Structure formats: structure tokens, C-alpha cells
Amino acid sequence: MLPSSTALCSACALLIFSLIPGLHAEPRTFTSPDGRTLLAEIQSATPDMVTLKLVNGPILAVPINKFSESDQAFVAEWRKANPVTIKYDFASSYTKDKANSTKQTVNNVEITTETWLCNLKLANRSNQTLEGLKVNYEIYYSQANGPTMVTRKATGNATIPSLKHLEETAIKTTTVQLKTSKLEGGFYYADGSRSRNKDTIEGMVVKISHQGKQVYEWASSGLPKDRGAVANERK
């Protein structure tokens, strides 16, 4: 006797349901390093925490490192099969730091050359630990070019292996050279250039990527509107 169409549909639905990650969870015996065990199903997991539903009802949030290495590997595989939607959020700020300074006089012009870098601070506000963050940044600075000031940029990147929720990390950027020139002895430039020029850092742009896609961009105040037309720094 052939099964009815209703029975076939029910069987297919059961099969599909069992193949969807996260919808069909088997209880697992989790073991701590000192041998204690508990029988539970995974409800959710981040790189450092796992939420378990015990077979007798209660739900617990436990640091993953409280379990054996095999349990930690199991949770890692579960996370791959059950990716969560991350609401990315970061806080960004930076400060400027002068690394060194030199002076010289050339043709009645006193030139001070300073090496600067930015201390970039990033805080994770995404409600979970994030691993393998890629940070790309641009430093914009004004530079004297005859009688005018032009804007240039220096670029760099960094990798953050792991950043917990509400944790802050600091990145020291690549350096830029800024010059201050002062014409001495009452001389002046025939082309109208100012007798004193000073290069300055104008601001930063920060872009963060995670798992191969850009998830965040921040620009400090005071940057040029048409940043795409800004040339890279002169080497």
C-alpha cells in the first residue's frame, strides 16, 4: 500500500526541518576541565560565550573557556553553521602625537621638520566579541605649496585579532612629516607666498571590515568635502 500524499508531505516537512541549522538541536553533554558535566542544547554562541538550555529547563550563559577543548571546538563548528546577524557599532576618536623634530636654515629660511602620528582609538559596541577586524585609515593634512596650501593624505592599515564588547583598543598610525617654514631677515617672496607656513593634520577617515565586507566608516570633522580628489602624500 502506497503512503498517502498527506503522509508524504509530513515526512518531507520533517526532513527539511531536520536539515535547517539551528532548528534541530540535539542535547550534548558538556564537560568542564575538572570533570563536571551538564546536558544541554546550544541556543546561541559568540566567540567567547555560549548560551545553553539545560534539558530540565533553565537557560545559562557560560564562558566558552569553562568547557573542555572538544566542547569548545563543537561550539565553534556550531557558530559556523548558525551565523548570527551582527549589528556593528563602534566608537572612534584620535589624538595627534609628535614623534620628533629637527631644524635647519636654508637660504634665510628656517625650516622645522616634525614627524607626527595619530593615536587611533576604537571601541566595540556591537554587543559581541568580533574577531579578525581589518582597519584601513587615511590621515589628511595641509601642506604648503608655494603661495597656497594643498591637502594631502597618508594611508595605512591594521588588524585587530579580537575585540570584546565595550573593549577599546589603540592603533598607532603611520607617520607623516609636517614642516614649518619661516623667512628671516625681513625678506619676502616675490610670488606672494607667506613668510611663514605651517603644515597641519586636518583629520582622519577610518574604515573597518569584518569577514570580507566593510561594516563601518567614520570621518572626523574638518575634512575636505571632495576627499576623492586629494592626492596621496609625496614620498
96 and 162, same structural domain? yes
In a domain, 147, yes or no: yes
198 and 119, same structural domain? yes
The residue that leads in pLDDT, 203 or 147, is 203
Residues 94-111: pLDDT tens digits?
999 999 999 988 877 888
Q: Which of 228, 214, 225 is nearest to 153 (CA)?
A: 228
Q: In the predicted model, what is the mean pLDDT of residues 181-187?
A: 67
- CATH code, domain with 46: 2.30.30.700
Residue 48 domain boundaries: 21-81
Q: Cell numbers at residue 184, please?
A: 628671516
pTM: 0.71
